[in-house]
Structure 1
Amino acid sequence: MNEWPALLQRAQLGDKQAYQRFLTEALPFLRSRARRYVSAQQVEDLVQDVLLTVHRILHSYQYDLPVEPWLSGILRHKYYESWRELAKGTWQPLAEDDSWHPVADFAEESQADAVTRVLAPLNAEQAQALFATKVAELSVQETANLMQRSVAWVKVNVHRAIVLLRTELTEEP
């Protein structure tokens, strides 16, 4: 393991023997790490995905950094990528049944009062971000431009607003 950075550096320069030696020595490490994520039957598939990725991004390795975290990061990324792919294939849209939506029969003026009461715990910027993204259905980028804030700021404030509202609405009166 101590020689891995030097082997990878030589491999980046085209030394095929150094690359082969690195791959041979890295296999047991990758297999043991892969067992943390997948069943024994899936270890080899995950390791092969990692090795293909290592081959593709070998040029990105910085030889002054440790190899193990770099390999572990690739392994973790490939694991989560495989789960995303699996989830894409099994996702089913909800039926067009609106029966699960809460129904409230409010007069128009009482609707405004109810919305005002529900949004009261939010600060003005959280309420604006939430309204823009969820009610006006603007994208996060459009909301960020409108509010002259960053995309990350909008995402954080919308998330915080939703968490706060969820807490407020689920508490017993």
Structure 2
Amino acid sequence: MEVLVREMQDQEHGVPVRQQKMFLTSIPYAFMGYDLIEWLMDHLQIEESEALNIANQLCLHGYFFPVSDSKSLTVKDDSSLYRFQTPYYWPWQHKAPDNVEYAIYLAKRSLRNKQRHALEEYEAEAFASLHKNLKGKWDFISMQAEEQVRLAKERKKGDKIVGDSQERAYWRVHRPPPGQFTPLEP
């Protein structure tokens, strides 16, 4: 999978990546769903349905993510925007994240705009459970979350959108909603 993703990222022969407009915000280094599907069809000599299936598998594994739709890790054959995930976050680069990292992420989301960053029900339950189980580390978790929120406020709007989408996609892969399939489960 990673070999294919690296080929997709090739600057000359890969998926066309460029600055894209989303409403009034510029999203750097993004690509559209139909460009991805077309590249897969041409590069692998496959039909559209097969290309869409491969694209969805790569997205489910966390190699790229939708910029604006953080609720699902699916690829659409349209002008929806996607970005390649930083190789650091690829599933086979390191061990699964621990509960402290997840608690920091949830705490950070709970500190931000409730309308846009509200925790889903399963995340709120996980947050309450982590708060109870990590009581001794909670000051550290809170400090980390507050600092990350403070730093995020200083970033440009496009960078904030990308960072939020990237982080949500990462956690969707590693801590999916109950009952949702994840390819990383043993």
TM range (shorter): under 0.3
TM-score under structure 1 length normalisation: 0.22
Greater relative contact order (Cα < 8 A, sep 6+): 2
TM-score under structure 2 length normalisation: 0.21
- Indicate the structure with greater helix content: 1
The structure number with the bigger radius of gyration is: 1
